[in-house]
Structure 1
Amino acid sequence: MKKRYKLLISILFIIMLVAGVFIYENDYAMQEKDVIIRTDQGDLAGFVALPQEKNEGVVIFVHGDGAQNATQDGGYKPLMERFAKQGYASVSWDKPGVGKSTGNWLDQTMDERAQEVEDVMEWAENQDDINTEKIILWGASQAGWVIPKVQQKREDVTASILVGPAINWLRQGAYNTTEEMKSEGKTEDEIMQVLNNDKKESDLILAGATYEDYIEETADDSLSEERYAFVQKNISADATEDIEKIESPVHIVLAENDLNVDSNETEKTYKQLLPKSQLTVRIISGVDHSMLNPALHESQILTYLSAILAPKDTLVSEEYLDYCEELIRHM
C-alpha cells in the first residue's frame, strides 16, 4: 500500500512539474491580442504583441514563403518577447487565404506583398497603443525580396532585420537544389543533371508557358496550378536594384549551415551595394535556415516536443535571439 502511495505521489509530482514548465514556457512577457487589419486588398487576421512597460516602437514581421499564419504556429513568439522586453510591439498577420485572412497569398507578386506591408504600417500608425516613431521591418527568407522594396521608398522605416534573405530567385533555387543533393550524398554528375533539367523547366516558365503546356512538356506535376502561377509571377525576382536604393540601416542575420539560401552571396551582395556605416552582418553559429536550436536539427520529435512544451527557452537558437534583442536595444 505504501509503495502504491509513493508511486502515486511521484506520478502527481511529475505531472505538476511538466504542467508548471508548460505554463511558464508558453506564458510570454508581453500583451497579446488578435486584430483585423483592413486594407484595400482585403482583411488580414493580425496578431499584436505589446510591451508591458516601455513603448519605444514597433517591429513589423514579414513572412517567408509558404502558407504562414501570424505567429508561425508560435515560433515567432520567443523573438517577439525579446522585442517586447526592449519596449517594441510586434505586428504580424496570417497570409492572405490563411486562417481568417481573405484572399490568396499564391496570387501575390513581390510588389503586392510589399504593398501589403505598407498597408499594415499605415494601419499601425493609426493604433493608439502602438508607437510608430520607430518602425523596424523584420523578415526571413523570401522577405528578402519584399522588405527592400518597402525600405527603399519609405522614409519612416527606421531599419530592417533580414534573416537569411535571398538575392536572386533562380540562383537561390539552384543553390538549394545543389546543397540538398550534396547532403544526400549525390554525385556531381547527378547534381548537374538535375540542375540542367531545372533550367529547362525554368526557361519554360519564363517564356510564359501555360500550366498545361508545362505539364505536357516536362511531366512534372510537383507544382499545383496555383503554385505554378505564383512561381511564374515571381521567378524573375532579384533584390539587387531595391537594395542599392536603401538609405536606412540594414542588419543581415545569416545561418552558418543554410542549405536554402547562399549566405556567402547574400553577404557579398549587401556589402557591395551598401556602405559599411549602413550595414551589419552576423552569422549565427550552428543553425540552419530556420534559426532553430541546433540541438534539435536531427530530430523532428524533439522539435515538436520543444515547440509544445518549452518553446521560449529551447526552440530557437539562443545566440540568434540574443543578437536580435541586442540589435533592437540599440535602435
Structure 2
Amino acid sequence: MFNRLSERGPTARWLRRTGIALGCVVALTLSAGAWMTYQNDFAIREQRVTIPGPQQPLDGVLALPKSGNGPYGLVVFVHGDGPADASRDSFYRPIWETFARAGYASLSWNKPGVDGAPGNWLNQSMQDRAEEVTAAIDWARGRSDIDPDRIGGWGISQAGWVLPEVAARRPELQFVILVGVAVNWLRQGEYNLRAELRARNAPESDLATALARRDRTNQLLRDNAGYDRYLATGIEESPMSADRWGFVARNYLSDISPTLPQIQIPVLLELGEADLNVDVAETETVYRELVRPDLLTVQTYPRASHNIARENLDNGRDSVESFLVAVFAPRQIYAPGYLDNLRRYVEQQPARSTP
C-alpha cells in the first residue's frame, strides 16, 4: 500500500502544482483585466453629437466632466494630419480627462470621411478646416451646458495652420493651446525629411537623393501640375494618391507668420525637444517674435516627441513597451508634467466677455 501511494505521489503533486499555477495565471489575468479597465476608465462622460458644418455635418464627441450639470468651459480639439477619428484612437482621452478636472468639456469630431462621417478630409484646405472649427464654436456657444465666456482651443501639428487663424478671427476665445506646430509647410517638410533620415543614420547619399526628389515634386506643385503629370515623372518610389496630391497642392504654401501678430488672446505653445516632425526651435523663435509677449507661454519638454509623448514610446517606434503602456497605463504615454500643465493653464485663464 505504501508503495502504491508512493507511485501516485508525484502525479498528485504535479496536478496540484499545475492547478496552483493555472490559478495564478487566471488570477493574474483577471487582475490585469481589472487594472486595464481601471486605467482606461476616464473621468468623463462622452456624448455623440452632430455639429452643423460649413460643408457637411460633423460627427463629433462631446466629453463632459464626470459629474455636474455645467455650464462648463470648453476646449475645441483640432487634429493634425491624417484620417483622425474624434478621439484620435483614444490618444485624446487622457487630455479630455485632464480638462474635465479643470471644469472643461472637450469637443472633437471625426474628420470628413472617417468612421462613416460624410465628406473627404483630403478635399479640404486649411481655410476649410478653420471654417469647421468656427462652426463648431458657434454650435457650442448655443448649448446651455457650455459657458460661452470660457471656450478655448487645443490643436496639434497641422492644426498650427488652422487654429491660429481661428484665434485671430475670434478674439472672444479664452485661449489656444498649440502642440508641436510648425510655421511654414515647406520648411517643415524638409526638416522632417532630414530628421527622419538622421534618426535612421542614413548615409549622406540617401539624403541627397531624397532632397532631389523633394525639389522635383515641389517644382511640379509650383507649376500647378496635375496628378497624371506627377505620376508620369516617376519621382517617388511610393507616389501619393490622387486625393493626397490634391490636398498637398491646396495647402503646400501654408505659412502662419502673417497671422500671428493678429492674435489677441492667450497662447500656450507646447513643444517636445525630440520632435522629428517640426523644427521646434524655429517655431519658438517665430512665435516669440510675432505674438505679443504678454499673451504667449512656451513650455518645452525634454525627451518628448512631436505629440509630447515620451520619446522612448513614440518617434515611429512600434515596440512592445509602447503597446503595453498604451493599454495598461495610457496616461503615462505623455511626457512628465504635460497633463498637469494643461490643467493648470486652463484653470488660470480668466473668462472673457462675449461681445
Instruction: Give the TM-score taking structure 2 as reference length.
Output: 0.89
Higher Cα Rg, which structure:
2
One-letter amino acid matched to 2:255: D
Q: What is the CA distance between 1:133 and its match in structure 2?
A: 1.7
User: Which residue of structure 2 aligns with residue 121 of structure 1?
Assistant: 137
One-letter amino acid matched to 2:119: G
User: Which residue of structure 2 aligns with residue 257 of structure 1?
Assistant: 274
CA distance in 2, matches of 1:141, 1:315: 18
**Of 56, 59, 62, which aligns to 1:45?**
59
User: Which residue of structure 2 aligns with residue 268 of structure 1?
Assistant: 285
User: Which residue of structure 2 aligns with residue 243 of structure 1?
Assistant: 260
User: Which residue of structure 1 aligns with residue 335 of structure 2?
Assistant: 317
**Of 41, 46, 63, which aligns to 1:32?**
46
Q: Secondary structure in 2 aligned to 1:212?
A: helix
Q: Deviations over 1:58-97 (max 9, x none)?
A: 0000000000000001000001101000100000000001
Does residue 1:130 correspond to 2:130, yes or no?
no
Q: Deviations over 1:202-254 (max 9, x none)?
A: 11112100111112124435200000000000010000111111111111000
Q: Secondary structure in 1 aligned to 2:18?
A: helix
- List structure 1 segments (4+ residues) > 4 angstroms apart after TM superposition: 53-56
One-letter amino acid matched to 2:246: A
Does residue 1:169 correspond to 2:185, yes or no?
yes
- Give 1:5-24 correspondences, 5 Å limit: 5-24=19-38
- Give 1:62-77 correspondences, 5 Å limit: 62-77=78-93
- Tell me if structure 2 keeps the 8 A contact 1:56–1:87: yes
User: Which residue of structure 2 aligns with residue 195 of structure 1?
Assistant: 211
Q: What is the CA distance between 1:189 and its match in structure 2?
A: 4.9
Q: Secondary structure in 2 aligned to 1:198?
A: helix
- Give 1:73-112 correspondences, 5 Å limit: 73-112=89-128
Q: What is the CA distance between 1:50 and its match in structure 2?
A: 0.5
- Tell me if structure 2 keeps the 8 A contact 1:201–1:218: no
Q: What is the CA distance between 1:274 and its match in structure 2?
A: 1.4
CA distance in 2, matches of 1:27, 1:159: 28
Does residue 1:307 correspond to 2:323, yes or no?
no
Q: What is the CA distance between 1:108 and its match in structure 2?
A: 0.3
Q: What is the CA distance between 1:323 and its match in structure 2?
A: 1.6
User: Which residue of structure 1 aligns with residue 297 of structure 2?
Assistant: 280
240 and 44 in structure 1: CA distance in 2 versus 1, 3 angstrom threshold:
same
Q: Secondary structure in 2 aligned to 1:42?
A: coil
CA distance in 2, matches of 1:23, 1:186: 42
Q: Secondary structure in 2 aligned to 1:158?
A: coil
- Tell me if structure 2 keeps the 8 A contact 1:107–1:229: yes
214 and 294 in structure 1: CA distance in 2 versus 1, 3 angstrom threshold:
closer
Q: Secondary structure in 2 aligned to 1:91?
A: strand
Q: Secondary structure in 2 aligned to 1:132?
A: strand
Q: Secondary structure in 2 aligned to 1:277?
A: coil
One-letter amino acid matched to 2:152: I
Q: Deviations over 1:275-304 (max 9, x none)?
A: 211101111121111222334245532222
**Of 154, 160, 173, which aligns to 2:170?**
154
CA distance in 1, matches of 2:62, 2:319: 29
Q: Secondary structure in 2 aligned to 1:152?
A: helix
- Tell me if structure 2 keeps the 8 A contact 1:292–1:317: yes
Equivalenced residues, count: 330
Q: What is the CA distance between 1:56 and its match in structure 2?
A: 4.2
What's the RMSD between the two structures over aligned residues? 1.6
CA distance in 1, matches of 2:156, 2:300: 14
CA distance in 2, matches of 1:304, 1:60: 28
CA distance in 2, matches of 1:162, 1:132: 21
